[in-house]
Structure 1
């Protein structure tokens, strides 16, 4: 069964052109798929559909066997706790919580035993190279360090799918390369990733496929061998 199955999804608003037009996309376990395209092409809208943050006007969104487009708000929240991890351009960390407490938050919401959660958080922070900052507050960290913390938080509940919306967009080039390498390593370890990016280097390095959107429609689906790509 695919991890993500999007079938003929459209999204319209009261005014203006549709955000998405009859989009179909399948993401299999272990794939890393980059969604690219110009601003306003519908990339983030599509990612929000998969994350249960928005609903299609027509079509279906199925993730890990569950119809996300049919979920209530409460069910969507439980789905995000259990099935997907989300990373955003501007980190979305809580500044009044320490790094460790930010990472622990998804486990607490999911009811994970505290000892197990703290051990998991320590392992993730160490793996991502920010373990020494566990007691610090996010405002004292660099952008690259904050994105590593955001990745640890996203991975806390062992999601079936990682959603990343412009994960290097707010970073300098060196920090962006670090995050790129982390995403590539996580995918090689078997994590399924769906990311939105304007960064061509990130898409080339991380993605096993690149899907291009223009005016809300898929215009190209390219299979990649990371060092090069062959259109199909």
Structure 2
């Protein structure tokens, strides 16, 4: 049996004195699998993704990604893990306004040690694939929300990570742009053999995944 690339066991996270944002969630994802987690706003989807990405720590349970106990990493270890192992599509873009679109996309590759020219070429390829190559020299503030989301997707893919996390990647996109983004994620799985975990409230966006799970009230089903 193939060793899971992502494995969560009994993971819980609570903020302040409210109900748990995540309640004893367990999840197994195989290499090359696309998993969509479907649920309404406030159901715990983003909390789950942040824990797997090492952006937050659970109160209980274990989080293992590609053999790394993510829940045990310190700040420096978490940063290295994200830089070397995963690509992340954030719901609110997290682009750097003082860099051009091309430089935003190329930055993770440069931080991972790629040569400037190689990083620039890979960035240009992704921007063209997403239909926004003409904006390479623009800055994020000059783009629409949908265009910025496509830049964020390109940035997540530029290092060719084994694991890609996507937080509502089509939420701000028109149907044509959403189709481009989902096609690129599909290619990452079907052609390149990468693993994708996407959280979304949109059943249409989730429908392409190999496995669709639901989340509500912090519980994963």
What is the TM-score when the length of structure 1 is the normalising length?
A: 0.88
2:178 matched residue in structure 1: 176
1:202 matched residue in structure 2: 205
1:57 matched residue in structure 2: 59
Q: Measure how far apart 1:124 and its partner are.
A: 2.3
1:40 matched residue in structure 2: 42
2:75 matched residue in structure 1: 73
Alpha carbons 2:8, 2:64 under 8 Å: kept:
yes
- Higher relative contact order at CA 8 Å, sep ≥6: structure 1 or structure 2? 2
Greater Cα shift, 54-63 or 168-177: 168-177
Aligned residue for 1:89, secondary structure, equals coil
What CA distance in whole angstroms lies between the structure 2 residues aligned with 1:118 and 1:172? Answer: 27
Unaligned runs of 5+ in 1: 220-232
Alpha carbons 1:144, 1:179 under 8 Å: kept:
no
Aligned residue for 2:15, secondary structure, equals coil
Alpha carbons 1:90, 1:170 under 8 Å: kept:
no
Unaligned runs of 5+ in 2: none
2:169 matched residue in structure 1: 167
Q: How many residues are paired up?
A: 218
Task: Specify whether residues 198 and 16 from structure 1 end up closer, same or farther in structure 2 by C-alpha distance, changes over 3 A only.
Answer: same
Alpha carbons 2:145, 2:172 under 8 Å: kept:
yes
1:137 matched residue in structure 2: 139
Aligned residue for 1:30, secondary structure, equals coil
Alpha carbons 1:30, 1:187 under 8 Å: kept:
yes
Greater Cα shift, 107-116 or 84-93: 107-116
Aligned residue for 2:47, secondary structure, equals helix
1:224 matched residue in structure 2: none
What CA distance in whole angstroms lies between the structure 2 residues aligned with 1:127 and 1:37? Answer: 29
2:108 matched residue in structure 1: 106
Greater Cα shift, 165-174 or 61-70: 165-174
Alpha carbons 2:163, 2:195 under 8 Å: kept:
yes
Task: Specify whether residues 40 and 144 from structure 1 end up closer, same or farther in structure 2 by C-alpha distance, changes over 3 A only.
Answer: closer
Q: Measure how far apart 1:11 and its partner are.
A: 1.1
Q: Measure how far apart 1:57 and its partner are.
A: 0.6
What CA distance in whole angstroms lies between the structure 2 residues aligned with 1:201 and 1:128? Answer: 19
Q: Measure how far apart 1:128 and its partner are.
A: 2.8
1:226 matched residue in structure 2: none
Q: Does 1:89 align with 2:104?
A: no
Q: Give the CA RMSD over aligned residues.
A: 1.6
What CA distance in whole angstroms lies between the structure 1 residues aligned with 2:212 and 2:79? Answer: 28
1:192 matched residue in structure 2: 195
Alpha carbons 2:130, 2:181 under 8 Å: kept:
no
